[in-house]
Amino acid sequence: MKYRHEWKHEISYCDKLVLRQRLSAVAQHDPFAKNGKYLIRSLYFDNASDKALREKIDGVPIREKFRIRLYNYDTSLIQLEKKSKNNGLCHKAKATLTQEQAQAIVDGNWDWMTESNSPLVVELHSKMLGQGLRPKTIVDYTREAFVFAPGNVRITIDDDLRTGMRCTDFLNPHCVMIPPGEPPIILEVKWDEYLPDIIRDAVNLGNRRVCAFSKYAACRIYG
């Protein structure tokens, strides 16, 4: 299992403008983005005792969370993801779902999962039975992404965070989404073995400190 480094910073709108200008000069926009940006919708899983939420808030060093994700409301590519944290390092496992499979999980039809060819789908099913994981809430936001090949660096700027509150109708584009209070803009920097100095300098905002912001935790503000 290969882990990656990850920094998160809460930034201002002015910071975003500065970073966009700097990064455009040294890195490339994500080639899969449209006009440099794309929309992300994620459906997060948790259990009745809010295991994933509490582990995040309590800063448990080794933890995991499951989510289903799509981009720009495009149902032709839906991914099941497990994001694992190990003392600040991150790993993400993925499996592709069909639209019908994603809807079946939301609807509580899970029998097919035991016969899936994907170990991740089987693992989620096991933890839905053993830990009581269930679809919990939808999280939407807009992402602007940059990539830099040396170090396999990926820099993202996420804003316009919105929550579906208790809504789990993941594939419904008309699901009511509202801001969770006044969420910040989030800068994320991810890399493998090393972070090149040119990127380190480009994302340096002087007085910004690494934070542990969680979009899922922020979007649970209403329960």
pLDDT along the chain (223 residues), means of 10: 91 95 95 87 97 95 97 95 94 97 97 96 98 97 97 97 93 93 95 96 88 93 87
Are 147 and 154 a contacting pair, CB within 8 Å?
yes
How far is Cα 176 from Cα 205, in angstroms, rounded to an integer? 35
How far is Cα 68 from Cα 203, in angstroms, rounded to an integer? 29
pLDDT of residue 88: 85
Are 187 and 8 a contacting pair, CB within 8 Å?
yes
Are 77 and 71 a contacting pair, CB within 8 Å?
yes
How far is Cα 208 from Cα 223, in angstroms, rounded to an integer? 29
For residue 169, count other CB atoms closer than 10 A to its CB: 16
pLDDT of residue 217: 96
pLDDT of residue 1: 75
pLDDT of residue 34: 80
Are 40 and 140 a contacting pair, CB within 8 Å?
yes
pLDDT of residue 206: 84
> Per the confidence metrics, is the pTM higher than 0.75?
yes
Ramachandran area for residue 221 (φ above 0: left; ψ -120 to 50: alpha; else beta): alpha
For residue 175, count other CB atoms closer than 10 A to its CB: 16
For 146, residues 6+ apart whose C-beta sits below 8 A from its C-beta are 23, 24, 27, 28, 29, 30, 154, 155, 156
DSSP lists the bridge partners of residue 78 as 70, 97
Are 99 and 123 a contacting pair, CB within 8 Å?
no
pLDDT of residue 100: 97
pLDDT of residue 31: 85
Tokens of 28: 């490339």
Tokens of 108: 């509580």
